[in-house]
């Protein structure tokens, strides 16, 4: 009979690890036998020289092989759910290992189950919670890891996780606001493209016979629309290829570091987009700066963590230069003022906080102010986009209407 070595712990005492040997026909049977004894297995290894009947049983339990495959990335909402649950259990006095066990067995999301399983095994092997999450940078970013480490080092894990939850929720709100601001024009553009495609492909060809009976040379707008309609209907696959190629090129441009750098630089010169990019980046930056400072992290490390949230290359480089100045002894407000990216009110509040020794409180006011500015920018941008899109849509409708009716008007003029 096959034999397995196991590492397990009892449900009522997760701190004491038991290592032993068990005989079973399959891994599933070995796991069931251990559970009948009140043990929760964390590792099962087939002893050399023995064979199991079914070596593919692990397919139903993908989280057991997550070390080899790597943990799947958690969405922002899933990280909020995970962190909120762990924070609630820690606040109730539940040890981190038991908290992970509870989440793994009770949560329905498989990704979170896999994450909890891996973190649990790492902690059982002797690692801290911060070290355990640091092993999975694709799941937990550097800001998350840095704040958790600060909470462990300061002994204020519960408070730090509470701040982290607020930060994650704040990032989710900012993301929703930015997407919401861009969703309306994107939807209108999609509708316009779909409507024009249908008109050119199906409507104009239906009028071709009538236009031929009217006689005479067709107006230029009508010729353009008729030619485009024939081309799109005959060579539709080429159009799909062009769309796919353009989409792939845009994706590559945003992924490639060199092209992304120039996109970030020139995007800050577009009037409608500039303020949205700056305010949203600074909102994330100041939020992380305030949370990490409250967690007791040194100011240089706070700046580094906050700088990780900046998506724009130009802003990130300016902040990196400011970090160097802070390392050289320059005041935080003076170093950030040199970037020319922060509003004067934010710099005034930060400077006042440094001089009064209440930087943490003033950073909180800075976050409130930058959030108000972001809301104003999104509101202003939405109001400016609406008439602009109406003008564009109106221009398209006018051109198509002229292309349809100009041959009729011309024929009527010739008849009279």
pLDDT tens digit sequence for 185-212: 888 888 888 888 888 888 887 777 777 7
Tell me the fold of 69-169: Receptor-associated Protein (1.20.81)
pLDDT tens digit sequence for 126-151: 788 888 888 888 888 888 888 888 88
pTM for this model (two decimals):
0.65
Residue predicted with more confidence, 60 or 214: 214
**Residues of CATH 3.10.20 domain(s) within the chain?**
3-60
Half-sphere exposure of 93 (CA within 13 A, CB side): 0
Can you identify the CATH homologous superfamily of domain 177-416? Type II secretion system (T2SS), domain F (1.20.81.30)
How far is Cα 63 from Cα 116, in angstroms, rounded to an integer? 9
**Residues of CATH 1.20.81.30 domain(s) within the chain?**
69-169, 177-416
Model pLDDT, residue 244: 92
Task: Indicate the average pLDDT of the chain.
Answer: 81
The CATH class of the 3-60 domain is alpha beta
DSSP codes, 214-246: H-SPPPHHHHHHHHHHHHHHHSHHHHHHHHHHH
Sorted by sequence, the CB contacts under 8 Å of residue 309 that are 6+ apart come out as 143, 171, 281, 284, 285, 287, 288
If pLDDT is split at 50, 70 and 90, which confidence band does 378 have?
confident
Q: What is the DSSP letter of 89?
A: H
SS3 at position 8? strand
Q: 409 pLDDT exceeds 70?
A: yes
């Amino acid at each position: 009979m096959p034999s397995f070595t196991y590492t397990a712990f009892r449900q009522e005492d997760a701190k004491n690890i038991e290592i032993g040997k068990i005989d079973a026909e399959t891994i599933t049977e070995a796991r069931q036998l251990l559970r009948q004894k009140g043990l929760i297995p964390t590792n099962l290894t087939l002893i050399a020289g023995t064979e199991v009947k079914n070596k593919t049983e692990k397919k139903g339990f993908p989280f057991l092989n997550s070390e080899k495959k790597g943990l799947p990335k958690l969405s922002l909402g899933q990280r909020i759910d995970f962190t909120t649950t762990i924070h609630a259990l820690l606040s109730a006095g539940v040890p981190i290992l038991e908290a992970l066990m509870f989440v793994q067995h009770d949560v329905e999301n498989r990704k979170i189950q896999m994450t909890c399983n891996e973190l649990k095994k790492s902690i059982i092997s002797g690692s801290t919670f911060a070290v355990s999450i640091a092993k999975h940078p694709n799941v937990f970013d550097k800001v998350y890891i840095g704040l958790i480490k600060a909470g462990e080092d300061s002994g204020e894990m519960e408070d730090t996780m509470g701040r982290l939850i607020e930060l994650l929720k704040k990032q989710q709100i900012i993301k929703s606001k930015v997407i919401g601001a861009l969703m309306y024009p994107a939807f209108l553009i999609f509708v316009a493209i779909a409507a024009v495609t249908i008109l050119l492909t199906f409507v104009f060809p239906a009028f071709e016979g009538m236009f031929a009976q009217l006689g005479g040379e067709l107006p230029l707008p009508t010729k353009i629309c008729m030619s485009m309609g024939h081309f799109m209907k005959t060579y539709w696959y080429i159009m799909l290829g062009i769309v796919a190629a353009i989409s792939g090129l845009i994706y590559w441009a945003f992924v490639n570091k060199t092209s992304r750098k120039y996109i970030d630089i020139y995007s800050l010169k577009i009037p409608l987009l500039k303020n949205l990019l700056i305010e949203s980046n600074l909102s994330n930056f100041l939020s992380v700066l305030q949370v990490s400072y409250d967690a007791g992290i040194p100011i240089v490390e706070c700046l580094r963590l906050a700088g990780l949230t900046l998506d724009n290359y130009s802003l990130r480089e300016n902040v990196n230069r400011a970090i160097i100045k802070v390392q050289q002894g320059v005041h935080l407000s003076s170093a950030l003022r040199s970037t020319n990216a922060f509003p004067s009110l934010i710099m005034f509040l930060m400077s006042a906080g440094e001089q009064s020794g209440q930087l943490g409180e003033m950073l909180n006011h800075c976050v409130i102010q930058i959030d108000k500015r972001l809301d104003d920018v999104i509101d202003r941008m939405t109001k400016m986009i609406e008439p602009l899109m109406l003008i564009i849509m109106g221009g398209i409708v006018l051109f198509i209407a002229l292309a349809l009716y100009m041959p009729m008007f011309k024929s009527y003029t010739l008849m009279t």
